[in-house]
Structure 1
Amino acid sequence: MKKITSLIFALALSGAALAQKTNYNLLIGTYTNTGKSEGIYTYQFNTLTAKTTLRHITKQVDNPSYLAISPDQKFVYAVNETGNTSTVSAFKYNALTGDLSFLNKVDSQGADPCYIIADNRNVIVANYSGGSLAVFQRKADGSIAEAKQIIKHTGKSIDPQGRQKSAHVHMVHFSPDHKHLICNDLGEDLTYIYNYNALAKSTVLSIKTVSKTNPGSGPRHLAFSPNGRFAYLAHEFNGKITGFVYSNGNLKKIQEIGTTPKDFAGKIDGADIHVSADGKFLYETNRGDANTISVFSILPTGILRFVQTVSTLGKGPRNFSIDPSGKFLLVAHQYTNDVVIFKRNKITGKLTDSGQRIAVGAPVCLVFDKK
């Protein structure tokens, strides 16, 4: 009898493990000021079928456009993008139910925060309109203290449409070895690399190097290859991607490649960029009049080779995410209020429409709980 009971218990554990490998939480950050979203959405995503099930809506959260899950999967941090009154919010996260419980919020120390990251010690925010980045200490209970360091950029660049009249910090990103922080400033046409001292009480970040991009290009988002050897920078204004060899806080340019046809005359508005977990493919989205996603293969040298450009099948593609299985790629459309799910060929990198959609108001950020 004991042997049978042990066998049943083992089978139950095996079944639970299998479920964990096929079902993940997908958190979606949105703009609530459109009247079409209620806050932060948690869906269950099945990596076998790409089917999604709504699990929880965290309501009464203002414009939680970007999210970050803590490394221990116990907390979620969100920007509240509300102009000069912008804040950063902390939530306790229940991965079993998908529920978020509000802990606290603090001043973001800059208007319109548009990106957020978190490690075991700190939460760091990029303030777009404020042209600043701010570092907040994580408390033991997951809440966040007032900012312990604020860095204000003050430069500008040449964009004729006026988007570079002042600094616009657009992204903060830890280096693969976690020794540095990369910061793209769209308004200045600069990429800053800061030394990162997680345990410091005040000077967490100090300048290592500053890299200039082409004037008027608008550096927006950056992605590293999984091995940490290469970095790829997406430019908002021209949709181009700059490839770099990365080493110890230094970027060495190796390539610049476009993502639209040479005769494309519309507005591009490059948006997001990611590398597949196997390091073989890179993906980049454009908004504006393009509304496309481009696929590139990554050679062993880090050089990109064009594979495919397809419509994102919606308007205003912002953040996108490859699911934990690598079989699907999800694109959040801010203006058509949906997430389009593509099948992803892991051998060729190519994308095809899965037919699956998530209807959600003004989605901006897609974050998988990968634990």
Structure 2
Amino acid sequence: MLRNILFNCLLVFLCVTAGYAQEKQLFYVGTFTSEGAEGINYCSLNTETGDIDLLTTFKGIDNPSFLRLSPDKEFLYTVSRTTPEVEPSGGYVVAYKLDTIGGLHFLNKQPANGSGPCHIDVSPDRKYVAIATYGGGTTSIYPVNEDGSLKKALTVVKNTGKSVHPNQTQPHAHSIKFSTKEPSIFSADLGTDQLNIFHFQNGSLGRYNQEFVKLPAGSGPRHFVFHPSEDVIYVINELNSTVSCIRKVDEIWSIFQNISTLPKDFEGESYCADIHFSKDGQYLYGSNRGHNSIAVFKVNPDQKLTFLGTVPVEGDWPRNFGITPDGKWMLVANQRSHNITVFKIDTNSGMPEFSGKQISLPAPVCIEFR
């Protein structure tokens, strides 16, 4: 209790400091407690200097690896990986209420319905939360109560199939997102090389005539982003280090480009992780674990990509990264080197430039801006 009071006093002091609102960007960091972290970190980025400060750590949760704020920024939801002894399904989805200064207050949790929960999203109307589980190969939909807490899963879909890579002997649902344009949910399954397409209505998942987009064998689709028009989806593939560009024409989604995230002369092992647009939508970025870089692409008028090069992340195993809401900064969570590195984005070239600033944090794996 005393610790929470001191934390609240500190934030109040910071908030009344002249220029704080203009110079500080607050964010949460998801972590792996199995690798030395203690929970969800709450940090502040100085948007003038690039300095990061750790404000506090919210403890008492196992492996809060991926986080998502509700659209109104009133609630935070996270997946939590646990052991079968703690939860037979292999994990939870957890709900928190935010107070006015960013403190997290536990609401409730529900079973993940699959081992290794790894990704989460919140519907645009804040009425549903969706998660994907890597080990279980499942996608689940949870209705949200008025107070932000979660009801039991209304729909659980277990994927089937496999592919050609040694890591693809079974389904591995790795990401899930609600469409903001139509009643659809998309989910990338690394184990089956599919971007699954679900019709979503009243909390239930159904199937369209086109149930999925098949990606190249052994590609391992991991995360994806919608083009602002939402008629194009860019999927980053973990196992073959590529981005697949998928366009919807006459109600059918199909691939129109596959492009590497690595320099042509690279010969080592590398595995893609995350993907994000620049604020203006003119550039696309992807993280390479192994090559330890951010790949930079120009988005052309025809929505194809041109590879511009890579930027070293100044760390090891860049998992998730985030671009600040003002579009000026990129923060890279380097899981194995236990640091978050800070890059200033050149708005003319789209290239991230290392600022020289970083913060040491155990096993950071996800960044969510408040």
1:357, distance to aligned residue in structure 2 (A): 0.7
- Cα distance, 1:208–1:24 mapped onto 2, change above 3 Å: farther
1:90 to 89, 95, 118: 95
Q: Is the 1:316–1:333 Cα contact (8 Å) retained in structure 2? A: yes
Do structure 1's residue 301 and structure 2's residue 306 form an aligned pair?
Answer: no
Deviations 1:196-222 (A, max 9, x none): 21x34xx24434521111111101111
- Cα distance, 1:55–1:29 mapped onto 2, change above 3 Å: same
Q: Distance in 2 between matches of 1:54 and 1:98?
A: 13
1:354, distance to aligned residue in structure 2 (A): 0.4
Do structure 1's residue 318 and structure 2's residue 319 form an aligned pair?
Answer: yes
The TM-score normalised by the length of structure 2 is 0.89
Q: Is the 1:192–1:207 Cα contact (8 Å) retained in structure 2? A: no
Q: Distance in 2 between matches of 1:34 and 1:113?
A: 17
1:262, distance to aligned residue in structure 2 (A): 3.2
Q: Which amino acid aligns with 1:123?
A: V
Instruction: Give 1:266's aligned residue.
Output: 268
- Unaligned 5+ segments in structure 2 are 1-15
Q: Which amino acid aligns with 2:38?
A: E
Q: How does 1:340-355 map to 2 (within 5 A)?
A: 340-355=341-356
Which moves more between the two structures, 45-54 or 148-157? Answer: 45-54
Q: Which amino acid aligns with 1:261?
A: P
Q: Which amino acid aligns with 1:130?
A: G
Instruction: Give 1:170's aligned residue.
Output: 174
Q: Distance in 1 between matches of 2:209 and 2:367?
A: 31
Deviations 1:173-218 (A, max 9, x none): 1224152111100000111111121x34xx2443452111111110
Instruction: Give 1:193's aligned residue.
Output: 197
Do structure 1's residue 58 and structure 2's residue 84 form an aligned pair?
Answer: no
Deviations 1:59-95 (A, max 9, x none): 011000000101111110111112543111111112x
**Count of aligned positions:** 347
Q: How does 1:114-125 map to 2 (within 5 A)?
A: 114-119=118-123, 120-125=126-131
Q: Distance in 2 between matches of 1:205 and 1:78?
A: 25
Q: Which amino acid aligns with 2:159?
A: H
Q: Is the 2:53–2:359 Cα contact (8 Å) retained in structure 1? A: no
Q: Is the 2:279–2:326 Cα contact (8 Å) retained in structure 1? A: no
Q: Distance in 2 between matches of 1:127 and 1:79?
A: 9
Deviations 1:283-338 (A, max 9, x none): 011103x1111111111110111212121111110011111111111110110001
Deviations 1:128-158 (A, max 9, x none): 0001011111111111011110000121111
Instruction: Give 2:38's aligned residue.
Output: 38
Instruction: Give 2:293's aligned residue.
Output: 292
Instruction: Give 1:101's aligned residue.
Output: 105
Q: How does 1:85-234 map to 2 (within 5 A)?
A: 85=87, 86-94=91-99, 96-119=100-123, 120-159=126-165, 162-197=166-201, 199-200=202-203, 203-207=204-208, 209=210, 210-234=212-236
Q: Which amino acid aligns with 2:340?
A: V
Q: Is the 2:92–2:111 Cα contact (8 Å) retained in structure 1? A: yes
Q: Distance in 2 between matches of 1:179 and 1:187?
A: 25
User: Please, what is the CA RMSD of the aligned residues?
Assistant: 1.9
